[in-house]
C-alpha cells in the first residue's frame, strides 16, 4: 500500500509509544547470542495446562457449531461467582452472576475497551484524564491515547513500594480523571496493594466519580499471602461496588494463555454498559472454551500447584542473586525486577555473553514530563519456564551482570 494519504488513518496511532517487543528486537539486532538462546522476556506461562481443559473441550465439542452468547453461559458465570466468593470470602448474596459478571475473550481486549466504555467523548473543556502506574501494561496506554484522553503516568518507584503515590495526585487531576488503571499484583514489579491502599483508592474513585479498573490477573500467583482484592474491600464496605471493576484471567492462574478467557466483574451499571459495547465490537469466547473455563474456575487445586511451581523458582532466584541487583522476593506475580543501572546496556550484555533474552524496564515505562523514566535502571525477567531451565537462565544472567 503506497501513496495512501495519511489522513485516512486514525492519527492517534502515531501518538502511541513503540511496543516493547519490537523495540527489544531492534536493540538486539545483529548481536549473536553467546550461548543457546533462552527467552525470559515474555510473560507467557510454560507450565503444563490442566488436563481438564482438553477433557471439557472434547466433552462439549458438539457446541462448536453454536454462536456463543456475548455475556457467557450461566454455567461459566456461576463458576466465576463461585471462585470470587471463595477467593475473596465474599458474602453469598453480594455477587449476582447475571448483573455483576461479564466473561471476556482475554483481558487485554477488555482492558482496552473499558476505556471506550467510560471515557466521555466530545465534551467541551480539557480532555478527560486516564491515570496509570508507571511502569505499566502497555494496553493501558493504548486505551488512553486512542480514546483521546490525557494519559497521566504515576511513577511506581521502590520508594513507594512500586505503587503510585496517591498523595502526589492533585485535586484537579482527580476531578478530571475518568479512568484509573491499577495492577495488583503489579506487572512488572510484583508489588501488592494493601487493604488500606485499596480502601483509599476506591474511596477516591467514588468521591471524584472516576472508574477504578483493577487489573488483578496475577491474583492467584503469590509468594506468602493471598493479595487482597478490590471486591474484598467492597464487601467490607457493605457490598457497594460503585465505580469499581476488576479484571481476571485464566492465562496466568491456569497456565492457559491460549484460551483467551477471562472476565470483568463489579459495578452493575458499568457491566451493563460494557456488555452493550462489546455486542458491537468484541469476539466472544467459544462455547467449548467456556465449558473448559468453567471447569478451571471451579477448581482451586491446580492453581495451588501452579503457585508452588512459581514459588520454587523464586527460591532459586533468591539463592542465585541474594542481595545483589536489588533482588527482593516479589509478593505476587512471576517476574523479577532487577536493578542493573543501565537497562539497555545490561540487556545487550546478557544476550551477547549468555544468550538470555530479558526486557529493559524503560520499554515497559514512559518518560515523564521531567525526563524521568522509572524503568530505566531495571530489567524484567519472566520466570515462566520449568525449574531447571529457570535455574540455568538465572545463573547465566547473574554471570553476565557480575
The domain spans of the chain are 11-48+302-401, 62-299
Measured CA to CA, the distance from residue 334 to residue 313 in angstroms comes to 9
Q: Name the residue among 230, 199, 202 with its Cα closest to residue 215.
A: 230
The Cα–Cα gap between 215 and 194 comes to 15
11-48+302-401: CATH topology is 3.90.1150
Q: List pLDDT tens digits, range 220-274.
A: 999 999 999 999 999 999 999 999 999 999 999 999 999 999 999 999 999 999 9
Q: List, in sequence order, the alpha helices (H) in 225-267.
A: 230-236, 250-253
Q: What was the pLDDT predicted at 17?
A: 86
Cell numbers of 101, please? 459478571
d(CA 242, CA 211): 9
pLDDT for res 124: 82
130 forms beta bridges with 151, 179
* 255: alpha, beta or left? (left if phi > 0; alpha if psi -120 to 50): left
User: How far is residue 96's CA from residue 383's CA, in Å, rounded to a whole number?
Assistant: 36
268: cell is 452493575
Q: Which three cell numbers mark 396?
A: 547465566
168: how many CB neighbours lie within 10 A of its CB?
10
E strand map for 88-176? 101-104, 129-134, 150-155
**What pLDDT is attached to residue 1?**
46
Task: Name which of 255, 250, 289 is nearest 59 in CA terms.
Answer: 289
Domain 62-299: assigned CATH number: 3.40.640.10
Q: How far apart are CA 100 and CA 77, in angstroms?
A: 9
SS3 116: helix
The whole-angstrom separation of Cα 62 and Cα 116 is: 35
- Report the C-alpha gap between 387 and 329 in whole angstroms: 16
Instruction: Give the three-state DSSP class for 274.
Output: helix
CA 395 vs. chain centroid, Å, equals 27
Q: State residue 320's pLDDT score.
A: 98
Closest alpha carbon to 245 in 221, 222, 216: 216
How big is the chain by its Cα radius of gyration, in Å? 21
> Closest by alpha carbon to 114, among 293, 284, 276?
276
Cα 153 to Cα 136: distance, rounded to the nearest angstrom: 9
Sequence-distant (6+) residues with CB within 8 A of 136 are 153, 181, 183, 364, 365, 366
Model pLDDT, residue 146: 94
Distant-in-sequence, close-in-space partners of 306: CB < 8 Å, separation ≥ 6: 47, 220, 221, 253, 254, 255
CB 261 within 8 A of CB 289: yes
At 184 the pLDDT is: 98
pLDDT at 371: 87
Q: Which residue has the cell 470483568?
A: 264
Residues of the chain with pLDDT under 50: 1
Task: Please list, in sequence order, all residues whose beta carbon lies within 8 angstroms of the beta carbon of residue 76, skipping any fewer than 6 positions away.
Answer: 103, 285, 290, 291, 293, 294, 297
Cα distances from 398 to residues 283, 294, 324, 402, in angstroms, run 43, 41, 9, 6
162 backbone φψ class: left, alpha, beta (φ>0; ψ -120 to 50): left
Residue listed under C-alpha cell 458499568: 270
Amino acid at each position: 500500500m503506497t501513496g495512501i494519504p495519511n489522513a485516512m488513518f486514525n492519527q492517534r496511532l502515531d501518538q502511541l509509544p513503540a511496543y516493547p517487543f519490537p523495540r527489544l528486537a531492534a536493540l538486539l539486532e545483529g548481536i549473536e547470542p553467546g550461548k543457546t538462546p533462552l527467552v525470559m522476556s515474555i510473560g507467557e506461562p510454560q507450565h503444563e495446562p490442566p488436563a481438564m481443559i482438553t477433557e471439557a473441550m472434547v466433552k462439549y465439542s458438539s457446541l462448536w457449531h453454536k454462536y456463543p452468547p456475548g455475556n457467557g453461559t450461566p454455567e461459566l458465570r456461576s463458576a466465576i461467582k463461585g471462585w470470587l466468593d471463595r477467593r475473596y470470602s465474599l458474602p453469598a448474596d453480594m455477587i449476582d452472576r447475571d448483573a455483576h459478571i461479564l466473561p471476556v475473550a482475554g483481558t487485554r481486549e477488555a482492558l482496552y475497551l473499558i476505556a471506550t466504555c467510560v471515557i466521555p467523548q466530545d465534551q467541551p473543556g480539557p480532555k478527560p484524564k486516564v491515570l496509570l502506574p508507571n511502569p505499566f501494561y502497555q494496553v493501558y496506554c493504548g486505551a488512553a491515547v486512542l480514546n483521546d484522553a490525557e494519559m497521566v503516568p504515576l511513577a511506581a518507584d521502590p520508594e513507594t513500594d512500586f505503587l503510585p503515590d496517591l498523595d502526589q495526585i492533585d485535586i484537579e487531576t482527580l476531578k478530571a480523571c475518568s479512568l484509573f488503571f491499577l495492577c495488583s499484583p503489579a506487572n512488572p514489579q510484583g508489588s501488592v496493594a494493601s487493604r488500606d491502599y485499596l480502601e483509599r483508592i476506591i474511596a477516591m474513585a467514588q468521591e471524584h466519580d472516576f472508574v477504578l479498573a483493577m487489573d488483578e490477573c496475577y491474583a492467584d500467583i503469590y509468594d506468602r499471602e493471598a493479595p487482597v482484592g478490590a471486591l474484598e474491600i467492597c464487601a467490607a464496605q457493605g457490598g457497594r461496588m460503585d465505580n469499581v471493576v476488576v479484571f481476571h484471567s485464566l492465562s496466568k492462574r491456569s497456565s492457559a494463555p491460549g484460551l483467551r478467557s477471562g472476565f470483568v466483574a463489579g459495578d452493575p451499571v458499568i457491566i451493563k454498559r460494557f456488555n452493550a459495547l462489546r455486542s458491537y465490537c468484541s469476539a466472544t469466547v467459544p462455547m467449548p472454551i467456556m465449558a473448559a473455563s468453567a471447569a478451571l474456575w471451579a477448581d482451586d487445586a491446580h492453581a495451588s500447584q501452579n503457585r508452588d511451581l512459581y514459588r520454587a523458582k523464586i527460591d532459586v532466584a533468591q539463592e542465585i542473586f541474594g542481595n545483589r541487583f536489588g533482588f527482593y522476593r516479589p509478593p505476587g506475580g512471576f517476574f523479577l525486577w532487577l536493578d542493573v543501572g543501565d537497562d539497555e546496556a545490561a540487556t545487550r550484555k546478557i544476550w551477547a555473553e549468555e544468550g538470555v533474552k530479558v526486557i529493559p524496564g524503560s520499554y515497559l515505562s514512559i518518560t515523564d514530563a521531567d525526563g524521568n523514566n522509572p524503568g530505566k535502571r531495571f530489567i524484567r525477567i519472566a520466570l515462566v519456564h520449568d525449574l531447571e531451565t529457570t535455574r540455568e537462565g538465572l545463573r547465566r544472567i547473574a554471570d553476565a551482570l557480575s
